[in-house]
Amino acid sequence: MLEVKGVTKSFGTGDRTVTAVNNVTMAVPDGEFAAIVGRSGSGKSTLMNLLGALERPTSGMIFVDGQDITRLGRGELVQYRRRSIGFVFQSYNLIPNLSSTENVMLPMEFAGVGKDERRQRARSLLDQVELTGGKQHRRPGKLSGGEQQRVAIARALANSPRLILADEPVGNLDTQTSGTVIELLRSLAHARGTTVVAVTHDLSLADRADRVFRLQDGRLQAAGGSGPAPSAAGAEARESGR
CA pair distance 153, 107, nearest whole angstrom: 12
Return the closest-CA partner of residue 157 out of 180, 124, 206.
124
CA pair distance 113, 91, nearest whole angstrom: 27
156 contacts: CB under 8 Å, gap ≥ 6: 86, 87, 88, 164, 166
CB under 5 A: which stretch of 42-50, 56-64, 83-91, 176-184 binds Mg ion? 42-50
Provide, rounded to whole angstroms, the least separation between the CB of residue 54 and ligand ADP: 11
- DSSP 3-state assignment of 23? strand
Q: H helices of 32-168, where?
A: 44-51, 74-79, 100-110, 115-128, 145-156
Q: Which is nearer to Mg ion, 44 or 123 (CB)?
A: 44
Q: Which is nearer to ligand ADP, 12 or 133 (CB)?
A: 12
Provide, rounded to whole angstroms, the least separation between the CB of residue 166 and ligand ADP: 13
Provide, rounded to whole angstroms, the least separation between the CB of residue 130 and Mg ion: 28
Q: Which is nearer to ligand ADP, 191 or 203 (CB)?
A: 203
- Answer whether 2's CB lies under 8 Å from 28's CB: yes
CA pair distance 106, 110, nearest whole angstrom: 7
Provide, rounded to whole angstroms, the least separation between the CB of residue 9 and ligand ADP: 8
Q: Which is nearer to Mg ion, 45 or 136 (CB)?
A: 45
Q: Which is nearer to Mg ion, 19 or 160 (CB)?
A: 19
Provide, rounded to whole angstroms, the least separation between the CB of residue 108 and ligand ADP: 30
Residues that bind ligand ADP (CB under 6 A): 11-12, 18, 20, 38, 40-46
CA pair distance 157, 171, nearest whole angstrom: 20
CB under 5 A: which stretch of 45-53, 123-131, 158-166, 177-185 binds Mg ion? 45-53
CB under 5 A: which stretch of 37-45, 50-58, 150-158, 208-216 binds Mg ion? 37-45
